[in-house]
């Protein structure tokens, strides 16, 4: 083919613009932030460091997130939106009762690499809340979600349905047990994320199981006719 003809034929080709999935790019940047926080903490997860971790330019990262705070907010918001999806699967696939209570609470604990990363990002965000009040709504949302799940676990122990409202306290003594369980889960999360060499997944599951068993024993004295509390023992988490 003559060169001029070839030139004209090439000119007819329309190069389609590459479609960019902006939501996926934000998720990739958030994943890079998470990896950095796990390795070096939030102080070392600057926008420049996140760009290098993601393999992108500073300008590309700043197109989506102008500051580290914006990026951290997105990562935590993404995390807070994904946990309920896992809990819904637990609710829908695990039979109601102590087994489901244990399985649901495990979703908040650093029992594998993914949940360890989630826990460290969450703890980093809580630390930033002290100096960045714009993150305070996430702190309160997280607290409410954890308290709801503790209430749901107590409901499973006594054989009732999970609460329909996230902000409604349970009747006593159930609410007191939910409060105590909330504290236990927070403690296991902090210890497991901060000292994984001291508190591994097996011990974390064992301690969670013990807390549920003790709560169940206390509730048996108050709700002796509950079919779930009165029957059987809590499963061995190992």
Per-residue pLDDT reduced to its tens digit, 119-128: 888 888 888 8
Residue range(s) occupied by CATH 1.10.10 in the chain: 19-66
Question: Given the structure tokens 């939501």, which residue do they identify?
Answer: 23
What is d(CA 59, CA 209) in angstroms, rounded to the nearest whole number? 48
pLDDT at position 223? 59
- For residue 102, is the peptide bond before it cis, meaning its omega torsion is within 30 degrees of 0? no
**Among the four given CATH numbers 3.40.50.300, 3.30.380.10, 1.10.357.10, 3.90.110.10, the one describing domain 76-238:** 1.10.357.10
What is d(CA 211, CA 101) in angstroms, rounded to the nearest whole number? 11
pLDDT at position 175? 95
The gap from C-alpha 184 to its chain's centroid, in whole angstroms, comes to 17
Segments of the chain with pLDDT less than 50: 1-18, 227-238
Residue range(s) occupied by CATH 1.10.357.10 in the chain: 76-238
pLDDT at position 91? 94
pLDDT at position 190? 94
Kindly indicate whether the domain formed by 19-66 is annotated with CATH number 2.60.40. no
Query: 33-44, pLDDT tens digit by residue?
Result: 778 777 777 777
């Amino acid at each position: 083919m003559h060169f001029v003809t070839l030139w004209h034929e090439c000119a007819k080709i329309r190069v389609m613009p590459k479609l960019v999935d902006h939501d996926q790019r934000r998720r990739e940047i958030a994943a890079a932030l998470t990896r950095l926080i796990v390795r070096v903490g939030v102080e070392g997860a600057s926008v420049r460091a996140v760009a290098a971790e993601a393999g992108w330019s500073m300008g590309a990262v700043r197109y989506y997130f102008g500051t580290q705070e914006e990026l951290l907010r997105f990562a935590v918001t993404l995390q807070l939106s994904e946990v309920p999806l896992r809990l819904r699967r637990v609710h829908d696939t695990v039979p109601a009762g102590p087994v489901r209570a244990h399985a649901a609470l495990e979703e908040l604990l650093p029992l594998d690499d993914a949940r360890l990363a989630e826990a460290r990002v969450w703890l980093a965000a809580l630390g930033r809340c002290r100096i960045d009040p714009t993150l305070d709504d996430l702190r309160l949302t997280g607290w409410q979600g954890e308290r709801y799940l503790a209430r749901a676990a107590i409901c499973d122990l006594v054989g009732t349905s999970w609460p329909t409202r996230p902000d409604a306290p349970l009747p006593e003594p159930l609410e007191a047990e939910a409060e105590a369980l909330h504290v236990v889960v927070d403690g296991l999360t902090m210890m497991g994320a901060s000292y994984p060499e001291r508190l591994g997944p097996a011990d974390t599951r064992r301690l969670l199981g013990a807390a549920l068993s003790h709560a169940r024993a206390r509730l048996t004295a108050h709700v002796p006719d509950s079919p779930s509390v009165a029957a059987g023992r809590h499963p061995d988490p190992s």
